[in-house]
C-alpha cells in the first residue's frame, strides 16, 4: 500500500511554519511498514487542494491530509474532500456535543462558526480520538481513502497513532516493519563514501531485483552534523528487520572504519564528551575561526559540565598572544594552533584542549587561501596538529572547521585509548 501525505496551509508555503508534521507522519508510516513516495504542500485554496487530492489518489492508495480543519473561512479541507468524494456535508450532532463540551469545560465562549467543524462529508466517519475541537475524518473514495487530521501536532499525533496507522495496516492486509540506522561519518566526501560502498550497494540492488528481502543505503550531507549514511531494512516483523539491519551495519562499519563517529542522534560533540568522560579527562577549547561555535555545541549537551571546563574565543591576534601565550608571528599556522591548545589547557586547568585558527573569508591575508584552517589538540604533553582546506562561505567554513577540530580530538582520544 502506498500512502501520500498532503500538508495544507498557506503559512507552510510562506515559510512561516516548518512542516514537521509531514516528517513525523512519514516516520510513523515507515515504522509500520507502509510505503510513502510523495509529500505535498498546498495553500488554503479549495480548487488547488482538490487538484492535489485527485493527483494523490491517482498514484497512491491512501492520502493523509494535515491541517485546514479549523473554524475559520480559510479552513477548507473538509470542503475539498467532499468535492473530491462528490457528496454534500452533514452536521454530526455527536461532534457538536463534543465541541460544546470542550468549550464549557474550559469556561470559554463558543463562537457559532466552531460548529462548522462538526460538518462531515456524507459517507465519511470521524476518528474516535478528538483531543481538540477539530475531529479527524476517514473518507472513502472508491477503493481508496482520505484521512484528515488537524495541523496541531499533538492532536494530529494522537489520531495518527490511535487510529490511522492501524486502519492502514488493516486495509493493506500486510504487516511489515521498516527500521533505519544512521551512521554519521566525517573525513570523506559523499562521493568518496559512495565509491567505497559501491560493491555493497550493487549487491543490495541485485537482491531487490530478485525480489529478495533486502536493505537500502542513502547518503545525506549534513554540514556540521557530518555526512550521514542511512541504512534501511524492511521485513515482515520488526525483529527480522533489525536483524537484517545489524548485518548490513556491521558490513558498512568494516568498510568505513573510523570514518564512522556516531550513530542516529549522536553528534561529534557528544561522542567527544563521552570519550573524555570514559577516560576521566576534562576539556577546554580555544577558538578563533569558529568564534565559540565548538564551545556552544559542547555546552548545549546535558551533563557536559562534568567534562567541559570552558573556552576562550581568541579572535584577535593580540588575545592569542596575550591570553594564550602564542608566540609573536603568524597566527594561521599549525604552530599557532598548537600553542593555542597548550595555552588554553593550562589557563583553564584542563587535561585536554583543542584549538582552531584560520581564514573564513574574505581574506586580508593574501598569501593564505580562504578556507584554510589549522587545528591543534593538546593531551597532556602530546600535541597533534592538522591543516584542512574547507569550502563554502564564512558560515560553512566555521561549521566544517568545528566538526573537523572535534574529529581530530576524537581520533587522538581513540588512539590514546588504544
Per-residue pLDDT reduced to its tens digit, 282-319:
999 999 999 999 999 999 999 999 999 999 999 999 99
pLDDT for res 165: 94
| Number of other residues whose CB lies within 10 A of the CB of residue 394 | 15
Overall average pLDDT of the 124-153 stretch? 95
pLDDT for res 237: 83
Residue with cell 494535515: 66
Helical axes 77-85 vs 46-59, angle rounded to 10°: 50
Give the domains, in start order, of the chain with CATH numbers: 3-172 (3.40.980.10), 177-263 (3.30.70.2860), 268-417 (3.90.950.20)
Residue 112 has pLDDT above 90, yes or no: no
Overall average pLDDT of the 109-124 stretch? 91
What are 151-167's pLDDT values in tens digits?
A: 999 999 999 999 999 99
Pairwise CA distance, residues 259 & 219, whole Å: 14
Give the global pTM.
0.72
Length of the chain: 418
Enumerate the β-bridge partners of residue 383: 378
Cell, residue 296? 556552544
Residue 363 has pLDDT above 70, yes or no: no
Cell, residue 141? 473514495
Of the pLDDT bands very low, low, confident and very high (cuts 50, 70, 90), residue 259 is: very high
The mean predicted confidence, pLDDT, of the chain is 93
What are 48-99's pLDDT values in tens digits?
A: 999 999 999 999 999 999 999 988 888 999 999 999 999 999 999 999 999 9
Residue 41 and residue 12 in contact, taking contact as beta carbons nearer than 8 Å: yes
What are 229-256's pLDDT values in tens digits?
A: 999 888 888 898 899 999 999 999 999 9
Comparing CA positions, the residue from 36, 33, 1, 11 lying closest to residue 22 is 36
Amino acid at each position: 500500500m502506498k500512502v501520500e501525505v498532503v500538508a495544507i496551509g498557506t503559512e507552510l508555503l510562506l515559510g512561516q511554519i516548518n512542516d514537521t508534521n509531514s516528517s513525523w507522519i512519514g516516520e510513523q508510516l515507515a515504522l509500520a511498514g507502509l510505503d510513502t513516495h510523495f509529500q505535498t504542500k498546498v495553500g488554503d485554496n479549495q480548487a488547488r487542494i482538490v487538484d492535489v487530492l485527485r493527483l494523490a489518489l491517482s498514484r497512491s492508495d491512501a492520502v493523509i491530509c494535515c491541517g485546514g480543519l479549523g473554524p475559520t473561512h480559510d479552513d477548507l479541507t473538509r470542503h475539498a474532500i467532499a468535492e473530491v468524494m462528490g457528496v454534500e456535508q452533514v452536521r454530526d450532532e455527536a461532534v457538536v456535543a463534543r465541541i460544546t463540551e470542550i468549550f464549557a469545560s474550559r469556561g470559554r465562549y463558543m463562537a457559532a462558526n466552531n460548529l462548522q467543524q462538526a460538518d462531515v462529508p456524507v459517507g465519511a466517519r470521524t476518528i474516535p480520538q478528538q483531543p481538540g475541537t477539530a475531529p479527524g475524518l476517514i473518507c472513502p473514495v472508491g477503493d481508496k481513502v482520505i484521512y484528515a487530521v488537524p495541523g496541531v501536532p499533538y492532536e494530529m499525533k494522537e489520531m495518527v497513532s490511535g487510529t490511522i496507522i492501524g486502519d492502514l495496516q488493516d486495509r493493506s492486509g500486510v504487516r511489515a516493519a521498516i527500521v533505519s540506522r544512521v551512521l554519521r561519518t566525517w573525513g570523506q566526501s559523499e562521493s568518496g563514501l559512495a565509491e567505497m560502498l559501491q560493491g555493497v550497494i550493487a549487491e543490495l540492488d541485485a537482491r531487490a531485483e530478485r525480489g529478495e528481502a533486502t536493505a537500502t543505503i542513502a547518503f545525506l550531507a549534513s554540514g556540521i552534523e557530518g555526512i550521514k549514511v542511512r541504512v534501511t531494512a524492511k521485513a515482515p516483523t520488526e525483529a527480522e528487520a533489525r536483524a537484517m539491519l545489524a548485518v548490513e551495519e556491521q558490513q558498512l562499519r568494516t568498510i568505513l572504519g573510523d570514518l564512522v563517529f556516531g550513530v542516529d542522534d549522536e553528534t561529534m560533540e557528544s561522542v567527544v564528551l563521552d570519550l573524555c568522560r570514559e577516560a576521566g579527562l576534562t576539556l577546554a577549547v580555544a577558538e578563533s575561526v569558529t568564534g565559540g561555535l565548538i564551545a556552544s555545541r559542547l555546552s548545549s549537551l546535558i551533563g557536559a559540565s562534568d567534562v567541559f571546563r570552558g573556552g576562550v574565543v581568541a579572535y584577535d591576534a593580540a588575545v592569542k598572544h596575550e591570553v594564550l601565550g602564542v608566540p609573536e608571528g603568524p597566527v594561521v599556522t599549525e604552530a599557532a594552533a598548537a600553542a593555542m591548545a597548550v595555552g588554553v589547557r593550562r589557563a583553564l586547568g584542563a587535561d585536554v584542549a583543542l584549538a582552531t585558527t584560520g581564514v573564513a573569508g574574505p581574506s586580508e591575508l593574501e598569501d593564505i587561501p580562504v578556507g584554510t584552517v589549522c587545528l591543534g589538540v593538546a593531551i597532556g604533553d602530546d600535541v597533534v596538529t592538522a591543516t584542512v582546506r574547507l569550502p563554502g562561505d564564512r558560515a560553512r567554513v566555521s561549521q566544517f572547521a568545528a566538526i573537523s577540530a572535534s574529529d581530530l580530538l576524537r581520533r587522538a582520544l581513540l588512539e590514546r585509548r588504544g
